[in-house]
């Protein structure tokens, strides 16, 4: 193995929700590893700013991942996609008894059905080339119980079932499928979730053996590994990147 084993030269990565937060962190590390990245999201101004920051290797496409019937058109416009990162999602924090079926369904549609539609759209080229990597951004909510996020937890747990099933189905075509389960990572979403709640922040840090929040690049470099030839014999896994939170006591 040499340093080029971790290179993403020649790869084209579509990253949903790539304009901010973990998606942008993944995109930044992909560009540094040599990939061309296409950021997908709904807010043009955010995508423009992100691509300008990333440089010539980055482009964007305004697209709502819940427009399921437009997924194939999106892929046709982008061209050959060798890496898909299913990262886009929405968060809903409220008691189960107050969560309406429509709200629950909206979370599932944005995470689960959207990921399926995009995965389905990229697969023909990946299978034909016998080369491809699909990555899902899972969550600590995929691994253990968190209160007040039933819909989000259901969606993120569904990701793991999709990863395992897809990995078994697609391995014969040399297409690998994996997930990353981020811990608590410094981001706008984390700040909104904590919202100045020192008690909750301290509780999180107390159960995290490394005693700090992570950075978006921690997720990004893990994604580079999983999508590179360094992980050519790795498929169907969920990799916690969480400072030990998932095994802390």
Q: What is the pLDDT of residue 201?
A: 86
Q: 221 CB contacts (<8 Å, ≥6 apart)? A: 29
Alpha-carbon span 243 to 86, nearest angstrom: 22
CA angle 50, 179, 248 (to 5 degrees): 105
Catalytic status, residue 159: no
Q: Which two tokens stand for residue 67?
A: 């427009």
Q: What is the largest CA-CA distance in the chain?
A: 54
For 213, left (φ over 0), alpha (ψ -120 to 50), or beta? beta
Q: 168 CB contacts (<8 Å, ≥6 apart)? A: 236
The number of residues in the chain equals 249
For 236, left (φ over 0), alpha (ψ -120 to 50), or beta? left
Q: What is the pLDDT of residue 2?
A: 52
Residues of the chain where predicted confidence (pLDDT) is lower than 50: 1
This prediction's pTM: 0.95
Q: What is the pLDDT of residue 229?
A: 97
Q: What is the pLDDT of residue 1?
A: 44
Q: Where in the chain are the domains?
A: 8-241
Task: Give, for 58, the enclosing helix (H) or strand (E).
Answer: strand 58-62
CA angle 162, 218, 40 (to 5 degrees): 55
Catalytic residue among 60, 152, 159, 225: 152
Count of beta carbons in the 10 Å neighbourhood of residue 158: 19
CA angle 63, 67, 65 (to 5 degrees): 50
The CATH class of 8-241 is alpha beta
> 99, 142 in Cβ contact below 8 A?
no
């Amino acid at each position: 193995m040499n340093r080029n084993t971790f290179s993403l030269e020649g790869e084209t990565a579509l990253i949903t929700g790539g304009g901010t937060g973990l998606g942008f962190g993944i995109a930044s590390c992909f560009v540094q590893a040599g990939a061309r990245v296409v950021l997908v999201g709904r807010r043009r101004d955010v995508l423009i700013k992100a691509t300008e920051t990333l440089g010539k290797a980055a482009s964007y496409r305004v697209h709502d991942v819940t427009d399921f019937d437009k997924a194939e058109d999106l892929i046709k416009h982008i061209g050959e996609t060798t890496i898909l990162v299913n990262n886009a999602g929405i968060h809903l924090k409220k008691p189960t008894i107050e969560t309406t079926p429509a709200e629950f369904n909206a979370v599932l549609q944005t995470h689960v059905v959207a990921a399926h539609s995009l995965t389905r759209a990229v697969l023909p080229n990946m299978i034909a080339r016998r080369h491809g990597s699909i990555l899902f951004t899972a969550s600590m909510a995929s691994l253990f119980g968190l209160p007040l996020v039933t819909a989000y937890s259901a969606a993120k747990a569904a990701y793991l079932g999709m990863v395992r099933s897809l990995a078994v189905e697609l391995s014969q075509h040399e297409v690998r499928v994996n997930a990353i389960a981020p811990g608590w990572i410094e981001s706008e979403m984390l700040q909104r979730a904590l919202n100045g709640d020192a008690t909750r922040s301290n509780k999180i840090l107390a159960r995290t053996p490394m005693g700090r929040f992570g950075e978006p690049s921690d997720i990004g470099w893990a994604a580079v590994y999983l999508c590179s030839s360094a992980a050519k014999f790795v498929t169907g896994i969920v990799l916690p990147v969480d400072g030990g939170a998932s095994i802390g006591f």
